[in-house]
């Protein structure tokens, strides 16, 4: 099985040597996030990792371990593991810690690091110490709540399970990041900081931020450019230009040692798309995810796009039925037009489904559902019995008869977030 280097095509010749000696692997087991950065649309991997536009599935912990095992067989000299996204590891602490426990038990020699936004990290620091986590990378873009209020749409307060906005949300995050740094330093865990430099938002704040980071004895820092994500609140912002980034790095370098994102081996990982796909499929099948949800106006054909469906019809395998499956229930969908919120709620509502079939499915919901290991199938005007037979039986997907108009990915019914 071919393993590929994530960054091989992007990096310059001078950094290729670093990539080729890369013996690190990244595992993604956390589908959710506990806050909303305005530069992120929750449809790709966490933007704080510095790799734009990648969509990774969140694997079940046991399957993540199996994936790691196969990768180690292919590359016996893998020596480092990073736990990252695709959401936030501590928004999904059970999955994250279960993975860490299994990895530590089976591969005691692996160096383990975690990348996090720092929210909800503090309660889990004792567990990280017990599991000999070597390094924590925290995404910190500001320590000024007024700047943070521009950066974060909301920050969930774990104690009350409510999203805080404005200064309260930013203040909670900053306070928890600083508390986590103090505790990690006390325990001698190395701390790196990833900072996205955003022109007009936090670029002028970088010297003050790094001065504070130095006071907290941060080990190293990586300044990253903002790469606008389609659909994010900051999608219209300019990508951070080279001179702004260089200036930020120079200012920051006066206080904290700087890492180059693409030459830093911590940002270059071995991976295998084929193996990830295999374990992503198994993640969906290994749970009680046996149902298939369909978007249908009349129950006869697949004739509704995902963005317009007010409810889904759920079917499950039924060995005693002649067709091999049986209707289970009607499941209401979140309000139509809710944009990204609709897709995330839908992924929760259909969490026991292994697949969704609709006449059209936009890129954004496709990514959100895929991240939750829910397979998506587009079949337009295909009879329901044939669509279900196809997906339950894993037969070839029938070709779409025609492409519906009005599914531009920005339609009103889609809430501006695709179909």
Q: Is 33 in the site for ligand SF4 (CB under 6 A)?
A: yes
| Distance between CA atoms of residues 150 and 153, nearest Å | 7
Q: Is 141 in the site for ligand SF4 (CB under 6 A)?
A: no
Contacting residue, 28, 48, 267, 305, with ligand SF4 by CB under 6 A: 48
Length of the chain measured in residues: 419
String of DSSP letters for 62-110? HHHHHHHHHHHHH-TT--EEEEEEES-GGGSHHHHHHHHHHHHHH-TT-
Strands (E) located in 300-415: 301-302, 311-317, 325-332, 353-358, 375-378, 382-383
Residue number, 42 or 372, with CB nearest to ligand SF4: 42
Minimal distance in Å, beta carbon 33 to ligand SF4? 3
Residue whose C-alpha is closest to residue 116's, from 173, 172, 66: 173
Residues near ligand SF4 (CB under 6 A), total: 12
Using the rule CB under 6 A, give the single segment among 11-19, 46-54, 204-212, 352-360 that binds ligand SF4: 46-54
Q: Is 88 in the site for ligand SF4 (CB under 6 A)?
A: yes
Contacting residue, 26, 42, 169, 314, with ligand SF4 by CB under 6 A: 42
Q: Is 350 in the site for ligand SF4 (CB under 6 A)?
A: no
Q: Do 196 and 225 form a contact (C-beta atoms < 8 A)?
A: yes
Q: Is 305 in the site for ligand SF4 (CB under 6 A)?
A: no
| Distance between CA atoms of residues 161 and 158, nearest Å | 5
**Which runs of consecutive H residues, i.e. helices, occur in 216-294?**
242-253, 273-286
Q: Do 238 and 199 form a contact (C-beta atoms < 8 A)?
A: yes
H or E element: which one contains 309? Answer: none
Q: Is 355 in the site for ligand SF4 (CB under 6 A)?
A: no
Q: Is 209 in the site for ligand SF4 (CB under 6 A)?
A: no
Q: Is 47 in the site for ligand SF4 (CB under 6 A)?
A: yes
Q: Is 59 in the site for ligand SF4 (CB under 6 A)?
A: no
| Distance between CA atoms of residues 388 and 383, nearest Å | 9
- Give backbone dihedrals phi and psi of 137, rounded to 5 degrees, phi first: -105, 125
Minimal distance in Å, beta carbon 336 to ligand SF4? 24
Minimal distance in Å, beta carbon 175 to ligand SF4? 17
DSSP 205: G
Residue number, 40 or 270, with CB nearest to ligand SF4: 40
Q: Is 36 in the site for ligand SF4 (CB under 6 A)?
A: yes
Using the rule CB under 6 A, give the single segment among 42-50, 96-104, 236-244, 252-260 that binds ligand SF4: 42-50
Minimal distance in Å, beta carbon 254 to ligand SF4? 27
Minimal distance in Å, beta carbon 93 to ligand SF4? 15
- Residue 281 token pair: 């499929």
Q: Is 136 in the site for ligand SF4 (CB under 6 A)?
A: no
Q: Do 118 and 176 form a contact (C-beta atoms < 8 A)?
A: yes
When CB distances to ligand SF4 are compared, the closest residue is: 40
Q: Is 37 in the site for ligand SF4 (CB under 6 A)?
A: yes
Residue whose C-alpha is closest to residue 68's, from 90, 266, 59: 59
Residue number, 38 or 62, with CB nearest to ligand SF4: 38
Q: Is 184 in the site for ligand SF4 (CB under 6 A)?
A: no
**Which runs of consecutive H residues, i.e. helices, occur in 119-165?**
125-130, 145-151
Question: 210's torsion region: left (phi>0), alpha (psi -120 to 50) or beta?
Answer: alpha
- Site map for ligand SF4, 92-131, x if CB under 6 A? -------------------------x--------------
Using the rule CB under 6 A, give the single segment among 45-53, 213-221, 324-332, 343-351 that binds ligand SF4: 45-53
Residue number, 36 or 210, with CB nearest to ligand SF4: 36
Binding site for ligand SF4 (CB under 6 A): 33, 35-37, 40, 42, 46-48, 87-88, 117
């Amino acid at each position: 099985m071919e393993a590929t280097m994530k960054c091989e095509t992007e990096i310059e010749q001078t950094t290729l040597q670093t990539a080729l000696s890369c013996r690190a692997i990244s595992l993604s087991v956390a589908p959710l996030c506990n806050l909303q950065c305005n530069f992120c649309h929750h449809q790709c991997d966490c933007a704080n990792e510095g790799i734009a536009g990648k969509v990774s599935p969140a694997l079940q912990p046991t399957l993540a371990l199996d994936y790691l095992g196969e990768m180690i067989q292919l590359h016996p000299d893998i020596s480092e593991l990073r736990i990252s996204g695709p959401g936030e590891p501590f928004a999904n602490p059970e999955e994250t810690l279960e993975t860490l426990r299994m990895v530590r038990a089976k591969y005691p020699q692996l160096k383990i690091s975690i990348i996090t936004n720092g929210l909800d990290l503090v309660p889990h620091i004792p567990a990280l110490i017990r599991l000999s986590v070597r390094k924590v990378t925290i995404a910190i873009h500001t320590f000024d709540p007024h700047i943070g209020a521009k950066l974060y749409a909301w920050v969930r307060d774990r104690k009350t399970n409510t999203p805080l906005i404005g200064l309260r949300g930013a203040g909670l995050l900053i306070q928890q990041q600083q508390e986590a740094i103090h505790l990690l330093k006390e325990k001698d865990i190395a701390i790196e900081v990833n900072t996205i430099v955003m022109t007009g938002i936090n670029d002028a704040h970088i010297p003050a931020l790094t001065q504070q980071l130095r006071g907290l004895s941060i080990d190293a820092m990586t300044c990253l450019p903002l790469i606008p994500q389609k659909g994010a609140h900051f999608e219209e912002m300019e990508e951070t230009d080279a001179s702004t980034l260089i200036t930020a790095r120079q200012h920051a370098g006066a206080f904290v040692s700087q890492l180059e994102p693409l030459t830093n081996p911590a940002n270059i990982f071995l991976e295998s798309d084929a193996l990830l796909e295999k374990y992503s499929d198994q993640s969906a099948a290994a749970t009680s995810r046996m149902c298939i949800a369909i978007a249908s106006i009349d129950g006869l054909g697949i004739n509704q796009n995902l963005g317009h469906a007010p409810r889904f019809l759920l079917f499950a395998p039924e060995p005693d039925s002649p067709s091999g499956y049986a209707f289970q229930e009607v499941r209401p969908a979140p309000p139509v037009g809710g944009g990204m919120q609709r897709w995330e709620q839908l992924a929760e509502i259909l969490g026991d489904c292994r697949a969704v079939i609709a006449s059209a499915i936009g890129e954004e919901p496709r990514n959100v559902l895929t991240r939750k290991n829910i397979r998506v199938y587009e079949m337009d005007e295909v009879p329901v019995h044939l669509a279900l037979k196809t997906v339950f039986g894993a037969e070839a997907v029938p070709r779409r008869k025609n492409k519906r108009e009005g599914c531009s990915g920005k339609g009103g019914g889609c809430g501006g977030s695709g179909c």
